[in-house]
């Protein structure tokens, strides 16, 4: 009679998953898309890295209520939330970040001289999609 065990498997049973290059890529993307959105989201409140309101297209600033900085506070809150969702549920969080980046790209393409940043964010969008797809493959790999 076999008994089912619950809890975390011993470290030895996790080693094969950690040796898999695909799983390693999944972990790198999961950590990156957890940490980066949280840090950039927090910076929307401090403006230490850049003057974030300058990255808001004028037509969007005209639509949203309040100032551009107030809009950046909302953006920061969404980015922090997105990072937390990636940490907890990467299969959903990857798509959430990809959608958010698509919106950022549209915003940046409507601001002259921001095309290089839009292209960089397109690369990030592809990484977020890769995370979502890898999460489908490796969901629960730690528990196996």
Domain ranges of the chain: 18-139
Q: How much of the chain, in percent, has pLDDT values that exceed 70?
A: 85
Look at residue 7 in the predicted model and tell me its pLDDT.
Answer: 46
108 with 116: CB under 8 angstroms?
no
Residues 81 and 26: their CA atoms lie apart, in Å, by: 20
Per-residue pLDDT at 59? 96
pLDDT in tens, 70-125: 999 999 999 999 999 999 999 999 999 999 999 999 999 999 999 999 999 999 99
Of 107 and 139, more confident = 107
- The pTM (predicted TM-score) of the whole model is 0.84
């Amino acid at each position: 009679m076999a008994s089912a065990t619950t809890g975390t498997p011993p470290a030895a049973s996790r080693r094969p998953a950690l040796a898999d290059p695909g799983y390693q890529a999944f972990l790198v993307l999961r950590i990156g898309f957890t940490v980066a959105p949280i840090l950039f989201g927090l910076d929307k409140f401090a403006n230490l890295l850049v003057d974030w309101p300058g990255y808001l297209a004028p037509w969007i600033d005209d639509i949203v209520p309040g100032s551009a900085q107030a809009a950046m506070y909302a953006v920061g809150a969404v980015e922090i939330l997105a990072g937390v969702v990636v940490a907890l549920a990467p299969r959903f969080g990857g798509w959430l970040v990809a959608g958010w980046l698509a919106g950022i790209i549209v915003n940046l393409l409507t601001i002259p001289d921001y095309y290089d940043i839009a292209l960089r964010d397109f690369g990030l969008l592809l990484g977020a999609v890769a995370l979502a797809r890898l999460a489908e493959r490796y969901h629960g790999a730690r528990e196996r």
